[in-house]
Structure 1
Amino acid sequence: MAIIDSLKKISDTVWELPLGYKAGMRVPARIIATEKLVRDMDEAVYQQISNVASLPGIARYALCMPDGHSGYGFPIGGVAAMDVHQGGVISPGGIGFDINCGMRLITTNLTLQDVQPRLKEIVDRLFHRVPAGVGTHGFLKLSHSEFRDLVEQGARWCVERDMGWQEDLELTEENGCIAGADASKISDRAVQRGYNQVGTLGSGNHYLEVQVARPEDVRDKELAAKFGITIPNQIVVMFHCGSRGFGHQVATDYLQKFLKVMEPKYEIKILDRELACAPFDSPEGRDYFAAMKCGLNMSFANRQVILHQIREVFSEIFGRSAADLEMRVVYDVSHNTAKLERHMIDGQEKTLLVHRKGSTRAFGPGHDELPARYRETGQPVIIGGSMETGSYLLVGTTSGSETFFSTAHGSGRTMSRT
């Protein structure tokens, strides 16, 4: 029997695996996609998202976004919100190894006509100044102690050292520094893997692109103007990267710890060991949360340093300051994270730990966590294309509450690396 035959069609874009699909499911699993996308998903996606639906404390639904594909434990595109007051767990598999892999978008006042004659020079200099590839090192020379400071302070550490503007922080999720990061909870091995990688892209589907906002692709001119897209064929810069080897090691360290205590200490049985977890309100869960926040902050700092390098390159080539070129951040948002948020469940506001793995947060208008300038419009949502294909700048909506204000992440893959 085809998997789609097990799905209940809720609407043209919502499909449900009911509780009876698999023994142990605590909530239904929902896939947010068109029928064509649902049919194209590999079977592992359905097995993984139904496994997620069995985790302790999960609220409402386990969710998979339209670009879902198989991952470690959770599918990429997976979303799960855990009630922290009802035994909810935290799972590294629901965040990903590249903690705070995310997107940043920058506008300029340049046009395609300005940039085209110098495009090769721009790309060559960016390639030199923003290292890419496996194992690459950044230009920042940090001691282990300085790196531990950086992962507690995030992008603010960079701005305080003249690698950015105060406005950059205001336009970054969590103002570029999530509170509660504790460097005492990360291993020396994690520090060793990350201290020389700040300011680098990494490999895989990570990229830095010089892009064009063509007039025919702007669907809402008024909204685009509020996001800084105001001139025909405007040049913008988008990049996609995360916490590099540091985040990978943090996840690896705590997966091993959770596997040792999950069943013997907490009597948690799971359908897949890749979903290794611990109660959020446990010493191990709290330690991982504090360590994971260090990964979030490292990535915010990483993207801040990359922005600094991009601004320097454009300034050198065009002989104008970055401020004069109006190289301003539109937004910086993660798609690999777990955060405490308030959401309505059965008419009651609850504190939930929302895991988003390959899924972008997308708060709607009026949300109090948004910067003041986006409170009326909703959050800018950056959906990266694959390298050299179109990317999207969208906006969060009030109806997003159905998915805990989460959407796709794009960035070039609809299937597993393997």
Structure 2
Amino acid sequence: MNIKLLKQESPCIWRMEKYSPMLADALFFGNKDIILGLDETTASQVRDVASLPGVVGPVCVMPDAHSGYGFPIGGVGAFDEKRGVISAGGVGFDISCGVRSLTTGLKKQDLISCDGRLAEQLFKRIPSGAGKGGGIILENDLMDEMLLGGASWAVGQGYGKPGDLGRIEGNGRNSFADPGKVPLKAKQRMRDQMGSLGSGNHYLEVQYVEEIYDKAKAAAFGLKNDAVLVSIHCGSRGLGHQIAKDYLPMMAEAAPGFGIKLPHRDIACAPINSELGRNYLGAMGAGINCALANRQVITHLVRECFAELLPQADLNLLYDVSHNTCQREEFKINGKNKNLWVHRKGATRALGPGHPELPPEFKKSGQPVIIGGSMGTASYILAGTAKGAQISFSSCCHGAGRLMSRAKARKSFKGNKIQKELDRQGIIIRSGSIKSIAEEAPHAYKDVDVIIESTQTAGIADKVARLRPILCVKG
């Protein structure tokens, strides 16, 4: 990226001042090496987002950013409730993909004698891989009930505990979901997918706390050195993908009629208050609920596996946060509170201390922010900050960020070799696809430690704990 286009405001904050056709500035978060490493496609996509009607600046670019479909992955774009647009490309194909982490009450040493058996049990019980479904069949009214209820529906079906819901964004349910706006094919694709991980970068990982950076916040989150956690990274499966696939061309075709000149077809959008915009919001909200229900059902299956092998375990939800959504949120803009629709594509919401949506136990610490590493590398638990609300619409990074495409990773790495290397490091990998292991090789991603340092230095989230993997189940 041409760094001359940016003005450095602090060690890890860079501003691109708006120029035609941009309607708002853009803020880039990251150290100099990260900024220099951004490709021109990513920079061009940032400028495109900043050119859309009703954008409220700045458009934000996280340290793990890279080019995506229309919007950059790691991008945040906020839009005025009355004049702004909603973009299916700004949410992405995996609607409400996110991470939830569970504490277990166990220590790392408790797993020494059974980690292999636990890996096999989790791999056997929780479907993973492209198109792999489970034993829950959703049709007609039951499908619509799930799309309306989200994790609340899942708990009502016996998949989890009512106490889980307070540790999920929106208490486990998106209120603007409208199952009637979800395409029939999307529902058909989800028929047997509930409680499954999927493929790509999705995973279920058993981890331990390797290092604590903030003792007070770690205590608030229930984290101690060597404590075992379980993290689940997945989304809305084929349903979310089909929603995006169907609505993107509708938005692209309708744009001229709304007087919207798209800088690129992939960034297709519609006015938030148009019929098409409202229809997409209803479908996207249902996609969010689908993902929340999916992670809730997987949590139930994980608890069953632990109960069989480690009955002393007590799995409690730390937090569940999505990183592919658009939500209506209130922010102070030029001294006045405004309702905005905030797109986060590959970016995590990170609410600061005192935010009214946080449960009482996190009011002082800020929201737990769960950052997944690449397979075999560290993950992090962060906490949202007050500064983030001021400069990044309470958003931060969501992971390490890809360094190379999946196709290039397949050419560069051998899946069985990666599996053996991780095994030598004491990390157990279970996957039904050697190709998937190659695609998700640790070296196919940026250095997550560098990404987190930039996030902390920029002030948009604070480090709380660093996690190391014990075992990982992948599609």
> 1:83-121: per-residue Cα shift (whole Å, max 9, x none)?
012x10000111111000000000011111111110010
Match of 1:124 among 100, 120, 123: 120
Question: Is the 1:130–1:199 contact (alpha carbons within 8 Å) kept by the matching residues of 2?
Answer: yes
* 1:110 aligned partner, one-letter code: L
Matched, 1:112 2:116: no
2:366/2:385 contact within 8 Å kept: yes
One-letter amino acid matched to 1:221:
K
Equivalent position to 2:217, from 213, 220, 223: 223
Aligned equivalent of 2:159: 163
One-letter amino acid matched to 1:335? H
- 2:121 pairs with 1:143: no
Contact 1:362 1:381 in 2 (8 A): yes
Find 2:174's aligned residue among 169, 178, 182: 178
Q: Which residue number corresponds to residue 276 of structure 1?
A: 268
Cα displacement string for residues 185-230 of structure 1 (whole angstroms, at most 9, x for unaligned residues) = 111101011121111111111111110113xx11122211110113
- Indicate how the Cα distance of structure 1 residues 415 and 13 shifts in structure 2: closer, same or farther if over 3 A, else same: farther
The count of residues paired between Structure 1 and Structure 2 equals 406
Whole-Å separation in 2 of the counterparts to 1:399 and 1:6: 24
CA contact (8 A) 1:387 1:412 kept: no
Is the Cα contact below 8 Å between 1:68 and 1:414 reproduced in 2?
no
Contact 1:60 1:345 in 2 (8 A): no
Give the superposition deviation at 1:145: 2.9
d(CA) in 1 for partners of 2:347, 2:385: 15
- Whichever residue aligns with residue 24 of structure 1, its letter is P
- Partner of residue 202 from structure 1, selected from 198, 202, 219: 198
Corresponding residue SS for 1:304:
helix
TM-score with structure 1 length normalisation? Answer: 0.95
Partner of 2:9: 10
Alignment of 1:369 onto 2:357:
yes
- Structure 2 unaligned blocks of 5 or more: 408-475
Q: Which amino acid in structure 2 is aligned with residue 410 of structure 1?
A: G
Counterpart secondary structure, 1:117: coil
Distance 2:250 2:129 in 1: 30
Residue 19 of structure 1 aligns to a residue whose secondary structure is: coil
1:32 is aligned to: 29
Equivalent residue for 2:230, pick from 223, 230, 237: 237
Q: Deviations over 1:227-261 (max 9, x none)?
A: 0113x311110111000110011111111211221
User: What code does the residue aligned with 1:121 have?
Assistant: R
- Among 55, 62, 80, the alignment partner of 1:58 is 55
Distance 1:173 1:349, change over 3 A: same
Moved more, 289-298 or 155-164: 155-164
Q: Greater shift after overlay, 300-309 or 28-37?
A: 28-37
TM-score of the pair, normalised by structure 2: 0.84
The share of aligned pairs that are identical, in percent, is: 46
The answer (yes or no) to whether the contact 1:208–1:237 under 8 Å persists in 2 is yes
1:144: Cα distance to partner?
3.5
The whole-number CA distance in structure 1 between the counterparts of 2:56 and 2:120 is 48
Aligned with 2:334 (options 321, 346, 349): 346
Give the superposition deviation at 1:139.
2.2
Corresponding letter in the other structure for 1:253: D
> Which structure 1 residue ranges, 5 or more long, are not aligned?
none
Which residue in 1 is equivalent to 2:245?
252
Amino acid in the other structure paired with 1:399: K
Contact 1:384 1:412 in 2 (8 A): no
2:122 and 2:395 mapped to 1: Cα distance?
Answer: 32
CA–CA distance in structure 1, aligned partners of residues 372 and 144 of structure 2: 30
Alignment of 1:363-402 (within 5 A): 363-401=351-389, 402=391
- Of the three residues 378, 382, 405, the one matched with 2:394 is 405
Cα deviation, 1:361-382, whole Å, max 9, x if unaligned, reads 0000010011121112110000
TM-superposed deviation, 1:416: 4.6
**Which of 258, 262, 280 pairs up with 1:288?**
280
Aligned-residue offset at 1:411: 5.4
Q: Deviations over 1:374-411 (max 9, x none)?
A: 11211000011001211000100100021000000005
The answer to whether the aligner puts 1:330 opposite 2:315 as a matched pair is: no
Runs of 4+ aligned structure 1 residues displaced above 3 Å come to 414-418
- Residue 347 of structure 2 corresponds to which residue in structure 1? 359
The Cα shift of 1:314 comes to 0.3
Deviation at 1:141, TM superposition (A): 2.1
Structure 2 counterpart of 1:317 = 309
Change beyond 3 A, Cα 1:339–1:414: farther
> What is aligned with 1:101?
97
Distance 1:376 1:222 in 2: 10
Letter in 2 for 1:80: G
